[in-house]
Structure 1
Amino acid sequence: MHKSLSLLACLAVGFQTVVAQQPAKKPLDHSVYDQWQSVVNQKISNNGKYVLFQVKPQQGDGTLHLKTATNRTLRLVSRGDSALFSADSKFAVFSIKPQYQVVRQAKIKKKKPADMPKDSLGIYALESGKLTKYPNVRSFQLAEKAAAVAFLAVKPAVKDSLKKAPVDTVKKITDQLLETKKEGATLTVINLLTGTKRQFEAVTDYQISKLGNKAAFAVSAPKNSKTIKSGLYVYDLASGDVKLISSGKGVYKNLAFDDAGKQLAFAAEKHPEKALVKPFSLYYSDFGADSARVLVQPGAKVLKTGWSPSGFGKIIFSESGDKLFFGTAPDPIPQDTTLVEFEHAKLDIWNYKDDYLQPMQLKTLKKDLQRNYLAVIYPKQGNKFIQIEDQYLPESFVAELNDAEYVLATTDTSKRVSMQWEGTTLKQAYLVSTLTGERIAINPKAAKSRFQLSPNGKYAVWYDYASKNWFSFSVATRKTTNLTEKAGVSFTDEENDSPDDPQPYGISAWTKNDEAVLINDRYDIWKINPATGAATNFTNGVGRTNKLIFRYTIPVEKKKFIEPKDNLWLLVQNETNKQWGYYKKNIASTKSPQLAVMAPFGYSTLIQAKNSDNFLYTKSNVSESANVYVSSDLKKEKKLSSINAQQKDYNWFTAELVHWTTPKGFKATGVLYKPENFDPAKKYPMVVYFYEKLSDGLYKYTAPAPTPSRLDIAMFASNGYLVFTPDISYTIGAPGPSAVEYVNSGVDALKKNSWVDAAHVGIQGQSWGGYQVAYLITQTNMYAAAWAGAPVVNMTSAYGGIRWESGMSRQFQYEHTQSRIGGTLWEKPELYIQNSPLFSLPKVQTPVVIMSNDADGAVPWYQGIEMFTDLRRLNKPVWLLQYNGEAHNLVKRENRKDISIRELQFFDHYLKGAPAPVWLTTGVPAVEKGRNWGLDIPK
């Protein structure tokens, strides 16, 4: 025994020596961002045998992975992107992006768009392993149900033309094509199974049919060309025939085949170049005649006076091919060319009777100029025409199975002004017959509602905010049924803490033939008969009993409904411990759902192969990147990716739930992030970051990344900080005091631990969080440093401002949504003042950095100026970062990197005692702008 103990002691010493010799992990630094990877665009082939996904660094060249479902690598394609599998699971088609450094150099040289590096197209045969590439590709289309591809290349390699041309003529045409995009590019159409390939020149637009049997393309002939004729052509891939079905110069748009590839429709205008108004006509061909015929032209009797088919409306055949949906619109007003521009008055006229504020109108100007109204025509039935939408009824929803007779249309006409303070409008809904044009009113009085149409178009379903119930309207019986009133549970947000109607939990899916709709409550999913309202708890109450949140999304791409024998894989989160997983239940079963997997990971929604039981998904947790897995039962899984191997070299972090009770007795939850090398015998500075509720993200992987203005949790935790993210619940009328109630009490609870450096706690928040940072430092001096991104400090001035990114007034958010005051400025002025940090700024003792950008479209950036100038007037330590031309959250990566450096420098100085950089001490004068960024630490 003595010898054994001695041997164990020696082994233990030896083990300790090995451990001691291992190098300490490095803290993350700002050089690591670009290399950090993520997995995106994962897909599985229809037969379930092949998968693809991209591994992309934050900046640089990514790699497309082509693999078998058994994890055998078929091919790694550098810079592969936008990949698709062919319907027969025999090919993968993808673009190949130019090298990042090549594009970067082209930008440095300020090359014109036409001279920038171009994509290539890759076609990979999954069985043979053959990879074929085509250069200079502008776009590509893969037939939805066949192995056929079409792509447009800007530098044509002319082999096959509409007509054979002499070499010198081809060269001349090629040179012209390279000079201007208006004359198009080379279209290549390939039958991937036979290898048959055809090329056509001067193509401006194209469309391949779903079955891959035909390709349509528009040609704009180069000037003086004797070999190429402008018009719309159709190429038959089987016969090889090319047919000109509409001739003449002009604009051809919105090419659309029916599902069988036996009909084609498109919009075209062939007016003289100098015409002031160029309305479109709708053309149609069933390929029986020599040329396409005009179905509807400008001034047609079926149209309203002064209306024409729209060049911007989407053209779609119904599944049967009997109906053709398209858009109509008033003819544009011609511009007066006699007026001289510099003599024009330039102004915006705001009128109190306008439906929308002028900023909103200007934001939606392009969309409004392209606005069109849905109509349907029957080419095989004497061109019977029905106008579905109009200016009174401007929005509609066609059933997913679009041969349904009725279209759901809604209107908020005459109800729009109140959007300024309500944030939404009251709507009326109608079912409009595509056969007769009959309009059936669903709700006789405008109401706040959310509408949708069932897949087969048999029911209109909507959530009514006033009664907090879901309703259905039967097309057959014209009966309205309350679907949820007898269920005995709420189908709306049970935790709503805003002065507005609570939101519904939503609809998951429909079953075949519209027999049942699956509607969510807080925890469970209900299966409800839309005709009778008969409701059963599909998840058998397992959710509410066990605090499990069940949700469902159909996993098969483009599948519209649940089949009668489908097994449903239900995504679940445990509300208590925040774990994620999946349960399984057959749609026809009355038994409780069965647990498949539940783990301390975050799971993505499933992607299922169309003709296989294989699923593709990602899972991750705080220390493991989101990697790709394949499985048929979610128990036996195959890991297909393994990214960010470099993470093992860095000091990472852990995450844990923390709970406490607030001063008013509320139960509170948050997440505490600790460095991986956390030592309870040491003291750590702490940064508190918050935005509404964040604890559901306990198992979310957070990569180090240059921040748009939030706190980079990975960077701070790796560098020896505790990071605390408390959930906040709100009392209406007291958003500021609510932050005090939850944030400060959470910090106080954590400070009881000996390893929290109570004297060195900072706070950081962006937008709504930035407001709360500004408020908190007026109420307490417990924080050693604060960072407020895009804060509102004066609710009285912000109330009447504009959200410039949308053009909407800010009034609604104070009266009804996030700002939570619950009344107008003149109804509750005391609440606006009490919740505004501005009026308490003399109390501030905390050093604070403000980020407020001059192109902020959400918060008026003068709010940051008000905070800065007033604190400056009070001689408080304050800095303002104004990123030129930047938005509410930073977009440009160079700016994100810059603020990430400054944020860590700031907190390092005030929470760790590190030397202050120049921008904090002496600042950077305007004369040094662009030459000195002030990031240096003075020696």
Structure 2
Amino acid sequence: MRKQLLLLWLFALTVQVAFAQDAPKPMSWKDVATWKSMPSGGFKLSPDGQWLAYVLTGIEADGELILQKTADPASKKSFPIGNASFASFEFSDNSQLIAFKEYPKFAEKQANEKAKGKPLKEKLHLIKLGSEDKKTFEGVSGFSFNNEAASHLIINLPKEGNGDAKGSDLLIYHLATGKSQNLGNVREHAANKAGTHLAYSVDAANSQGNGLYLLTMASNSIQVLDSDEAGYQSINWTEKGEAFAALKMKKDKKYKQDKGAVLGVKNLSNPQVTLYEPAKDSTGFDQKYTISPNRRPMWSEDLTRLFYGIHPLVLAEKESPKKATNTDSLKLAESENLAKIMADTTIKSIADLQKAIGKLNSSKSDDKKANDAKKPEMTIWHWNDDRLQSRQQVMENMDKTYSFWAMYDVTGKKHFALQDSSMRDLSLLPYQQFALGSDQQAYELDINLNGQTYRDYFIVDLKTGAKTPLFEKFYQPSFASMPRPSTDGKKLLYGKDGHFYVYDITAKTHTNLTEKLPVSMVDVEDDHNVIKPLYNPLGWSSDSRYVLVRDGWDIWQIPMSAKETPLNLTQNGKKEKIRYQYRISLDSDEKGIDLTKTVYLRTYGENTKKSGFATLSPAKSGLTAGAKTLLWEDANIQGLTKAKKAAVYTFTKEKFNQPTQVYLTDATLANAKQVTENAPDAGKFAWSIGVKLIDNVTAKGDSLQAALFLPAGYVEGQKYPTVVYYYEKLSQTLHNWSNPGYSGTGWSPSLYTSNGYAVLIPDIVYKMDDPGMSAVWAVLPAVDAAIKTGVIDENKMGLHGHSWGGYQTSFLITQTTRFKAAAAGAPLTNMISMYDLIYWNSGGGNMSIFEASQGRFFGGPWENWEAYERNSPIYHVKNVQTPLLMLHNDKDGAVDFTQGVEYYNALRRLKKPVIMVQYLGENHGLGKLENRKDYSVRMMEFFDHHLKGLPAPEWMSKGVPRLKLGEHLEERAF
């Protein structure tokens, strides 16, 4: 009996151990390093829709490529691809092959890094679909198939040696025969769309054989199109692939830049080469300019004109030649000096003679110093500068390489400069009949000061180069107002004074498209200090007869003809609070919206957070009113794509606790089946069991929502420690999967819910002159509403936000003591001093951000002092009782490091509990992996102590002396 009981006890213990081993566990930060998932862009369909491939990669894990038939999950095969931050794989256009790169393994990279070895080589694998055939190429850098023909695999080999030559070997692999062909010293190459021809340039040592070449793929014949001691670059095929343009750049010691020429090649069967050399066109081309290498040349649609960039020539700095010593002139100078001394009657003694000689030597030394004087390194900041000097420094290289559009009429053999410094921007419109020019130089100073954007617009006739004013001081409250061309290039859609207009370029007429609509196109939810911003339009129809615009809910079809009536295509959006957000483009070659085909739309429920797809059906003219819902679920559904040559569709679906997966379906989107196994280790870990959508009303009466993510292992009736996270409006992320990772801010909501935290993400809307108080008015009522669910432990709540969210955090703790801990990343803390600081990443000033963008203030502090002070954390610092962990880096180019220092020192002076962590050399968010790891762990340790009662690590309770910091960091590294 005792033996049986022992056996039963051992069996029960074994079961318990096995169950414990199999039970999902909370994910640790160390687990994140080897977590594998499908990256963005990591899934592809073959053009015929019969095959699919996707990759799984990890930070410190070796990845794999999954390949299978779409109709046969059992055909799935896995291939190792090493440790890849970006995986490279492609199907051939005929759907017969797939090629992918294999990178060195993570362990190999680590060992090589420690040994400081040479760069490790990468492999390329080529697989024939449906077979076991696989060919491997060693030591490659890049690859591509020759587009539609899919007859060759083109492989870039790494450049090794070869001096100053810019070319490297290019391997052409013939797929039908398995033979390889090596082209040496190839600098650039590009196949046309049909894949029948490969244009390439050669750049060899000492420029021997440099030229532009054309390889005919079928016959394997090579033609030399141009050859010279020059650099050939910027090969650019037309969209159809019947012609291409390129640049030819030659060195000229007189100038800092190379002198350029443009090449145009057409009639590929018997190539016709046009070479325009500005240096030989002394009458038509301003010789103070040359063709620029910084803009790709292009043919016009009708192949009659070449377009290219030009920029001013800059003389090379002359080196002062070393003058040969002239002994005769030295003897003459010495005799002249001797004569001066002898003629000086004031010299009465040896002492007088020494002084005279010393005076002559001093004069010589002064002359030499004047010639050798070093110029100072300095900057002059002038109040009339259109752009801050800091902005000019950031833009310096771009300004140096800026080029103006120009045109060469091939038949007339004439060059036209299409723009100059009085019109800085130019866009060639479709079919190159006209161009849209613009310039904001007259308003740039004010734009940089108050953020209100104005611009002058011009129409340029591309037949003559003539420029005609279109708008003067055109106001652009948002991107939606910018003029955008019709598909035929003859009209412009633009926004003005809360309406959409169309300008007919040939008729020179303006028509208000929306004035008679029963709805407004103004984005009334935009709470920035701009006037009547519009919702972004969907665009032009492919026949240029209609434009599709949005009122924030529904989509409207507006005809160009006065005989037709505008039509509400979707009809139920505003009524049912469904946002028809955007149209899905399923054809990469499309021009405009083809209204003769079914139009797919992405839909989103503003109040329900549901999402999905709907369609609009074509009619005899335009589209039929009434959208048909195809998918509508409590999930985040998006990413609809179509196989290039088949009616095979895919989309992605995810929930907060379910990783993103790809689903395969047909045009109806019905009966979709999951075809990926993203995040294959997800079952090993505990995740949030679900979400709740919290409705709440702000202190100012605005109806908002908040997303509440339940902790793993949630038990109803039990309360949980909670981190409140925010950044303006984020409740739309209710169904978004958060892939575990080391973010640049330390925040990973899935890690927190996995480790027993609830996460609350409330919406914030803003009132002008009160960005800080707006957070108080929105966040606290949202927290109150969430507490009523019974999920949140109101005595164990923490706050976290980064950047603007960091500002909200640093401000909220001055207004309430309800939170037991707060972590603020890169926070703005003094709105008055921050206003006059510089956004170093762009070099611009903060004032425009404060007045017309995120700051949401009327005017500057000197005219609105009370509002700036009222919303600055630093002026309420004495109220803080919440322990604060602050991240601020010394090279923060968005929120100046002094903002963190100012707040830290104020809190420290008042002996408030504050810790500031600073990662040397890091910007607004953490970039280095070791730093992202470190801060992610520290922030969770901070919340674990204050919200869960775990012991505080020593760095938190006592700090770390400078002399012990190295040892401390080494102990924690993983």
The match for 1:614 among 640, 648, 660 is 648
Quick one: structure 1 residues 374 and 60, their matched pair in 2 at CA, closer, same or farther if it must change by over 3 Å? farther
Closer, same or farther in 2 for the Cα pair 1:482/1:405, shift >3 Å? same
Alignment map for 1:845-864 (pairs within 5 Å): 845-864=881-900
Task: Work out whether residues 299 and 307 of structure 1, in 8 Å CA contact, stay in contact via their aligned partners in 2.
Answer: no
Could you tell me which of 349, 370, 376 is aligned with 2:401?
Answer: 370
SS of aligned partner of 2:599: strand
Match of 1:648 among 683, 702, 716: 683
Aligned to 2:828: 792
Partner in structure 2 of residue 581 of structure 1: 612
Mapped pair 1:432 → 2:460: yes
Label 1:530 to 1:897 Cα distance change in 2 as closer, same or farther (>3 A). farther
1:635 to 661, 664, 670: 670
Evaluate the alpha carbon distance shift between residue 194 and residue 516 of structure 1 in structure 2; reply closer, same or farther with a 3 A threshold.
Answer: farther
Kindly tell me: are residues 641 and 691 of structure 1, through their superposed partners in 2, closer, same or farther at Cα, counting changes over 3 Å?
same
**Whole-Å separation in 1 of the counterparts to 2:643 and 2:732:** 29
Who is 2:794 aligned against? 758
Secondary structure, counterpart of 2:916 in structure 1: strand
Instruction: Please point out which of 629, 634, 642 is paired with 1:600.
Output: 634
Match of 1:470 in 2: 500
Task: Give the whole-Å Cα distance in 1 for the aligned partners of 2:637 and 2:192.
Answer: 36
Contact 1:398 1:453 in 2 (8 A): no
Partner residue of 1:33?
Answer: 32
Distance 1:735 1:96 in 2: 50
Q: Distance in 2 between matches of 1:837 and 1:696?
A: 28
**Match for residue 96 of structure 1?**
102
Would you say 1:704 and 2:740 are equivalent positions?
yes
Distance 1:424 1:928, change over 3 A: farther
Change over 3 Å in CA distance of 1:89–1:877 after alignment to 2: same
Q: CA RMSD in A?
A: 2.8
Separation in structure 2 between the aligned mates of residue 299 and residue 852 of structure 1, nearest angstrom: 57
| 2:355 equivalent in structure 1 | none
Query: After superposition, what is the alpha-carbon deviation per residue over 1:212-234, rounded to whole angstroms, capped at 9, x for unaligned?
Result: 222222223335x9xx6333322
Residue from 97, 110, 114 that aligns with 1:108: 114
Which has the higher Rg, Structure 1 or Structure 2? 2
The answer for the alignment partner of 1:5 in structure 2 is none
| CA 1:897–1:508: 2 relative to 1, 3 Å | same
Cα offset, 1:411, TM superposition: 1.6
Cα separation, 2, equivalents of 1:132 and 1:273:
48
1:460 aligns with 2:488: no
Q: Which amino acid aligns with 1:132?
A: K
Distance (Å, rounded) in 2 between the aligned partners of 1:276 and 1:398: 29
| Paired residues of 1:408 and 1:452 also in contact (CA < 8 A) | no
Which string of whole-angstrom CA distances, capped at 9 and with x for unpartnered residues, describes residues 171-221 of structure 1? xxxxxx435463521112345456564211122222222222222222233
The corresponding residue for 1:161 is none
Query: Does the 8 Å CA contact 2:144/2:155 hold for their aligned counterparts?
Result: no
* Structure 1 residue 584: Cα displacement: 1.6
The answer to whether the 8 A contact 2:301-2:432 is kept is no
Match for residue 885 of structure 1 among 921, 935, 942: 921
Shift of 1:710: 5.2
Paired AA for residue 182 in structure 1: A
Match of residue 146 from structure 1: 149
How many residue pairs match? The answer is 891
- The alignment status of 1:505 with 2:539, answered yes or no, reads no
Letter in 1 for 2:814: T
Give per-residue Cα distances to partners, 1:430-476, cap 9 Å, x unaligned.
22222121333332443324121122212111122xx1111111123
| Structure whose residues are more often helix by fraction | 2
Aligned residue in 2 for 1:322: 304
Structure 1 partner of 2:419 = 389
Shift of 1:140: 3.0
Partner residue, 1:446? 474
Q: C-alpha displacement at 1:689, in angstroms?
A: 0.9
Match of 1:182 among 158, 165, 183: 165
CA separation in 1, counterparts of 2:549 and 2:132? 46
C-alpha displacement of 1:802: 0.6
Give the corresponding residue for 1:203: 186
Structure 2 CA distance for partners of 1:293 and 1:728, relative to 1, 3 Å: closer
CA contact (8 A) 1:523 1:549 kept: yes
Q: Which amino acid letter does the alignment assign opposite residue 618 of structure 2?
A: I
Question: Which residue number in structure 2 is paired with residue 170 of structure 1?
Answer: none
Change (3 A) 1:773 1:93: same
Query: Does 450-459 or 498-507 show the bigger shift?
Result: 498-507
Moved more, 887-896 or 141-150: 141-150
**2:317 partner SS:** coil
> Would you say the 8 A contact 2:91–2:98 is kept in 1?
yes
SS in 2 for 1:744: helix
The CA deviation at 1:626 is 0.8
Deviation of 1:543 after TM superposition, in Å, equals 0.8
Cα pair 1:259 1:321 within 8 Å, conserved: no
Q: Quick check: 1:629–1:637 contact (8 Å CA) kept in 2?
A: yes
Q: CA deviation at 1:564?
A: 4.0
Contact 2:69–2:76 (8 Å) recurs in 1: yes
Q: SS of the counterpart of 2:38? A: strand
TM-score by length of 1: 0.89
1:244-283 correspondence to structure 2 within 5 Å: 244-259=224-239, 263-271=243-251, 276-283=256-263
Task: Quote how far apart the aligned CAs of 1:538 are.
Answer: 4.2
Aligned to 2:347: none
Question: Which stretch shifts more, 485-494 or 890-899?
Answer: 485-494
Partners of 1:571 and 1:605 within 8 A in 2: no
- In the superposition, relative to structure 1, how do residues 330 and 75 fare at CA in structure 2: closer, same or farther (>3 Å)? farther
Flag the 1:65–1:649 CA change in 2: closer, same or farther, 3 A: closer
Secondary structure of the residue that 2:262 maps to in structure 1?
Answer: strand
Matching residue of 1:11: none
Contact 1:258–1:317 (8 Å) recurs in 2:
yes
Range with greater deviation from structure 2 (517-526 or 349-358): 349-358
Task: Give the conservation status (yes or no) of the 8 Å contact 1:483–1:535.
Answer: no
Which amino acid in structure 1 is aligned with residue 123 of structure 2?
Answer: S
For the residue of structure 2 that corresponds to 1:928, the secondary structure is helix
Which residue of structure 2 lines up, in the alignment, with residue 78 of structure 1?
80
- Unpaired runs of 5+ in structure 2? 1-11, 322-370
- Once the two structures are TM-superposed, the CA of residue 28 in structure 1 deviates from its matched residue by 1.6
Q: Is 1:215 aligned with 2:198? A: yes
Matches for 1:750-899 after TM superposition, within 5 Å: 750-752=786-788, 754-899=790-935
Q: 1:105 to 1:326 in 2, by over 3 A?
A: farther
1:560 maps to which residue? Answer: 591
Larger deviation, residues 734-743 vs 659-668:
659-668
In structure 2, C-alpha distance between the alignment counterparts of 1:878 and 1:192, rounded to whole Å: 65
- Residue 166 of structure 1: aligned partner: none
Deviation by residue 1:634-690 (Cα, 9 ceiling, x = unmatched): 111121101223222322102110122334443231011111311234331111111
Return the offset for 1:151: 3.9
Equivalent residue number for residue 549 of structure 1: 579
Q: 1:56-71 maps to which residues of 2 (within 5 A)?
A: 56-71=57-72
Query: Comparing 539-548 with 846-855, which one deviates more in the overlay?
Result: 539-548
2:605 partner letter: N
Structure 1 residues 839-871: Cα deviation after superposition (integer angstroms, max 9, x where no partner): 111111111011111111110111000010111
1:296 to 266, 270, 277: 277
- How far apart in 2 are the matches of 1:191 and 1:392? 52
Alignment CA distance shift 1:922-1:49 (3 Å):
same
* 2:166 matches 1:131: no
CA contact (8 A) 1:150 1:190 kept: yes
Matched residue, 2:214: 234
SS at match of 1:527: strand
Superposed CA offset, 1:306-365 (max 9, x none): 111111111222344333221111113423444999934212222333332111121122
Kept in 2, the 8 Å contact 1:524–1:537? The answer is no
Which runs of 5 or more structure 1 residues have no equivalent in the other structure? 1-13, 157-176
SS of match in other structure, 2:573: helix
> SS of the counterpart of 1:377?
strand
Could you tell which deviates more after superposition, 342-351 or 369-378? 342-351
Return the alpha-carbon distance in structure 2 between the equivalents of residues 507 and 193 of structure 1: 47
Letter in 2 for 1:234: L
1:71 to partner: Cα distance: 4.5
